[in-house]
Amino acid sequence: MMYGFAWDTSTPLAYAISILPILGIGLIVTLEATVCGFAIAMGVGLVFALLRRAKSRLITWPVGLIVEFLRDTPLLIQLFFLFYVLPQFGIVLPAFLTGALALGLQYSAYTSEVYRAGLEAIGRGQWEAATALNLTRAQTYRDVVIPQAIPRIVPALGNYLVSMLKDTPVLSVITVVDMLNLANLIGDRTFEYLVPLSLVGLIFLILTLGCSALIHVIERVLPKRGIALR
């Protein structure tokens, strides 16, 4: 992996600059894992949230248990579980996809709560008004409920996106070559971990502070009353 790269350990600054391009490659993997993982989390979480609104306890109860279980157990073990157990059932995925799937499943527990809270915040009166106007269920969701839920849901999802970003280094255990993995590999060669690890920390800090600032802006820009679709 490291072949073709050189580094200069003469001074910390020179060292940092020389390894920055390598870490850049890891950064792309980190971002890709976050995007894939979050796409899965948003989709699966929505399914969970809708299932938990089902009429029958036979559905809501087991789904609730699954969500609770996904939320309360460590990502690391869920990751190992998928990595070692899925192949036993003939499902062989690349490490990157296994990692994204694990991130997505863990965070689907969080996103489903976000959706649920967003939907529950819509008062009974809104549903009743929609019924009184003779809207169908689909129309009610599309025209009344979802537009009002968006300003609550989007910032909360954004915060979980940032959390997920910070969880991606765990994927390095299943050989995903992210920033942290590369920093450790460099450290193993040079016996100097302080600079690469600090640099990774700094990159994370910049990313998360930037994202948080962006979320604040979005939160402020989104009208509190909701956004009418179309």
Determine the Cα angle at 38 with ends 228 and 87, to 5°. Answer: 140
Nearer to other proteins, 78 or 98 (CB): 78
Nearer to other proteins, 107 or 144 (CB): 107
Q: Summarize as ranges the residues that interact with other proteins (CB under 8 A).
A: 69, 72-78, 80-81, 84-85, 88, 166-170, 172-173, 180, 184, 187, 192-194, 197-198, 200-201, 204-205, 208-209, 212
Nearer to other proteins, 16 or 135 (CB): 16
Rounded Cα distance, 207 and 79, in Å: 24
Question: Smallest gap, in angstroms, from Cβ of residue 147 to other proteins?
Answer: 28
Rounded Cα distance, 167 and 228, in Å: 34
Question: Smallest gap, in angstroms, from Cβ of residue 71 to other proteins?
Answer: 8
Question: Smallest gap, in angstroms, from Cβ of residue 92 to other proteins?
Answer: 14
Question: Smallest gap, in angstroms, from Cβ of residue 77 to other proteins?
Answer: 5
Number of H helices, E strands in the chain: 9, 0
Please give the backbone phi and psi of residue 153, each rounded to the nearest 5 degrees, phi first: -75, -45
12-52 and 194-221 helices cross at what angle (nearest 10)? 40
